[in-house]
Structure 1
Amino acid sequence: MTPPPLADEPWRRALDACPLAQRLDHHRQRELRRLSGVFLARKRFHALADAALTDDLCTLIAMQACLPVLKQGPSALRGWRDILVYPGEFKVKRSHHDDRSGVVTEGDDVLIGEAWEHGPLVLSLADVQLDLAQPWDGFNVVIHEIAHKLDMLDGPPDGVPPLPPHIPRRQWIVAFQRAFDLLSNDVARGRDTLIDPYASESPDEFFAVVSELHWSQPGVLRRADAAVAELLQAYYGVSPAEG
């Protein structure tokens, strides 16, 4: 049985607090309301380290998580259930194996979000709230991590999510690889870039970073790479930042 859409009061409060959703047309707002209800019924939120996670904040996270799947529907959010929410930045232990020397080093990464393959979504509540307050600054941690989740639907993240029939896979791969290579070259040479240099870390991070730009600064993305911007519009739909 499909869960009902968000009730009137939670929906109105969330809409008032989420400029990204406010600028959607009526049809996409109605679909977002439906998807958010499904998300809240099927996912479990966990407040960690005394994060002040309220029902309204859970609704706002759900709403932003559903924006990237407006065209794909709730099946695009399959394969995982839990959302772990920290008050702010959190540390994750990492191991790095140097292929040349064979040496393994361990250390802590400080993150504001993380998406595990077949596992939870992890978020910094402070950054979620910052994105709600500054929706057009080119950053959105929830959208970034959901982009990773979409990328993982067909295996380990590689920057190529399962694509709808109207987007040729080869066209996507060629455009994104070219843009990633150009960005990586500019970052390596110390040049200023319109796309956050973090996107040069890997093709999957590139996809997640440009997904943030699509939703919050599509004009910047078009100036940086028109081909990538066009493909993301075909994949996600028109950005509310265009309104």
Structure 2
Amino acid sequence: MFELLRRLRRPSPIADDLWRDARAAVPWAQALDASRDARLRELVARFVHEKTISPIGELSLDDRQRCMLAMLCCLPLLEFGAEGLRGWSQLIVYPDAFRVHRSHIDAAGVLHEWQDELIGEAWDAGPVILSWADVLADCEDPRAGFCVAAHEIAHKLDALDGLLDGTPPLPRAWQREWARDFQRVYDGFVDEVDSGRETLIDPYAAEAPEEFFAVATEYHFSDPALLREAMPEIAAQLRRFYGPSPFG
């Protein structure tokens, strides 16, 4: 009886024609070899089985577009595996950039409030949120150094150990190496940005260690050669964590 119930909960495979059509729109997926393509297809089947994909407002998403979104969210999981899907259940998709209300009480007790315009967000124990227009822009120019879906999934991987600090769950010895390399390169990068020097990597990466990891993840997938030039130690760690970039 329990075995039957387990089988009933298995995700249905992605149909061949749907996979072909969605893959044709996602350059990163097109660049994968056969074994990694098969692994991505299994992850996508699980994603669409487990996650609710919720378009907002007048946005409507067909099966091909939902499969595209799942592909992009699963690309960073090719080596880490389906465990990377743990802890959240919804992908919210806005038609375009969206506004969020922020507030902060400073050391003097003064409340500051403002509006941020975002193209993606990942809540610690909640949904991933993406701008559909920016997802499409990433797919149209996949080597430009941007991939908002990979950025937000990096945050989800980072948070799996309960701490959003730029270090995903890793074996102990590797975690020490990762922390050493990332801290040293991050500190140097922050110094470059603070001094006003032009950087090869988007200066937003200097905002916090978790943003450094997420931005570096975007470059791993969209411009790995530039990441190797700018930060060879970080490029090596991400290649080990994510596997080789689809773009070499």
TM-score normalised by L of structure 2: 0.94
* In 1: Cα distance, 2:232 partner to 2:33 partner: 24
| One-letter amino acid matched to 1:43 | K
Instruction: Determine if the alignment matches structure 1 residue 125 to structure 2 residue 132.
Output: yes
Supply the RMSD in Å over aligned alpha carbons. Answer: 1.1
Aligned twin of 1:139: 146
| One-letter amino acid matched to 1:109 | D
- Alignment equivalent of 1:206, drawn from 208, 212, 227: 212
Instruction: Determine if the alignment matches structure 1 residue 27 to structure 2 residue 35.
Output: yes
> 5+ unaligned residues in a row in structure 2: which ranges?
1-6
- Please state how far the C-alpha of 1:97 moved relative to its aligned partner: 2.2
- Please state how far the C-alpha of 1:164 moved relative to its aligned partner: 4.6
* In 1: Cα distance, 2:23 partner to 2:139 partner: 11
Quick check: 1:117–1:156 contact (8 Å CA) kept in 2?
Answer: no
Which secondary structure state, in structure 2, belongs to the residue aligned with residue 171 of structure 1?
A: helix
| One-letter amino acid matched to 1:201 | E
> 1:87-132: per-residue Cα shift (whole Å, max 9, x none)?
1010111112222x22120111100000001100001000011011
> 5+ unaligned residues in a row in structure 1: which ranges?
none
- Please state how far the C-alpha of 1:161 moved relative to its aligned partner: 0.4
Identity over aligned residues, as a percent? Answer: 48
Instruction: Determine if the alignment matches structure 1 residue 220 to structure 2 residue 226.
Output: yes
* In 2: Cα distance, 1:120 partner to 1:238 partner: 27
Which secondary structure state, in structure 2, belongs to the residue aligned with residue 168 of structure 1?
A: helix
- Please state how far the C-alpha of 1:178 moved relative to its aligned partner: 1.1
> 1:201-220: per-residue Cα shift (whole Å, max 9, x none)?
00000000000000111110
Which residues of 2 match residues 72-151 of structure 1 at below 5 A?
Answer: 72-99=80-107, 101-151=108-158
Quick check: 1:164–1:235 contact (8 Å CA) kept in 2?
Answer: no
Aligned twin of 1:168: 174
Instruction: Determine if the alignment matches structure 1 residue 230 to structure 2 residue 236.
Output: yes
* In 2: Cα distance, 1:63 partner to 1:164 partner: 26
Instruction: Determine if the alignment matches structure 1 residue 56 to structure 2 residue 89.
Output: no
Could you list the structure 1 runs, at least 4 aligned residues long, displaced by more than 4 angstroms after superposition.
none
* In 1: Cα distance, 2:26 partner to 2:105 partner: 42
- Please state how far the C-alpha of 1:163 moved relative to its aligned partner: 1.5
* In 2: Cα distance, 1:55 partner to 1:110 partner: 28
Q: How many residues align?
A: 240
- Please state how far the C-alpha of 1:155 moved relative to its aligned partner: 1.1
Q: Which of 224-233 and 53-62 deviates more?
A: 53-62
Aligned twin of 2:161: 154
Quick check: 1:93–1:107 contact (8 Å CA) kept in 2?
Answer: yes
